[in-house]
Amino acid sequence: MTALPRSEPITRSSVPDQVFARLREAILAGAYRAGERLPPQRALAADLGVNMASVREALGRLEQLRLIEVRHGDGTRVLDWRRSGGLEALVLGAAVDPALVRDLFEARRLLLVEAARLAAVRRSEEQAAALLELADTVATAADQGTALLADWDFMAALVEGAGNLIFQLILNSVRELYLPHAEAFAPLVAQRHTLAGLYRRAAAAVAAGEGEAAAAAIEELAFAQGALMLA
């Protein structure tokens, strides 16, 4: 049975969160293979220097994310997160599997292009005005952090204007991963002054009800941003 990789001792603040993060990282990094049993809860608690309640809470969260499966009489088995996991696996998954970064931005581009096409037909007047305003906000952002938030708000407004609930739910999941790690996505706005015209073109096309023009502008923008992230 594989022992939990040693690292810094668990501190006392938000212990279950830290246990959860440590185990999640170990699973996504491959310290435990798919199908392998995790050590018993008592052994995990001893390795990490925490109580059993913290371990149980962390395991419960890992099970909710479909990273592990608790089998009565057979212990806790690690699942193949690439087959069973959800969007929650993206942050650490991308860190251990560079191909996932490519897949993430390919999916982002496809979703945003279709959202732009739909938004041109379904957006309200208020949503169209908001997109135009956000396009200018990206271009005039004083710093990188402000630009990242403006880029997110622009894309979120685009998806909202598309009026597709599944797109919206996907974005909700991504938001929980993106915002706490926004600095990792700095390349998205590294050339914002060069790409500013594409935000404006997309917003103007949505406002004018020109779906193909909106989709083309967003595809060019999202493709350029993806290339910057992969560079």
How far are the Cα atoms of 102, 137, 138 from residue 170, in angstroms, in the given order?
Answer: 18, 24, 23
Q: Where are the domains of the chain?
A: 15-85, 97-230
**pLDDT tier for residue 93 given thresholds of 50, 70 and 90:** low
Query: Of 85-89, 104-108, 125-129, 155-159, where does mean pLDDT reach its minimum?
Result: 85-89
Proportion of the chain above pLDDT 70, given as a percent: 90
Pick the CATH number of 15-85 from 1.10.10.10, 1.10.1040.10, 1.10.1660.10, 3.60.15.10: 1.10.10.10
Angstrom distance (rounded) from CA 137 to CA 116 = 19
pTM for the predicted model, two decimal places: 0.73
The arithmetic mean of pLDDT across residues 175-180, rounded, is: 76
Architecture of the domain whose range is 97-230: Up-down Bundle (1.20)
Burial class (CB in 10 A: 0-12, 13-18, 19+), 54: buried
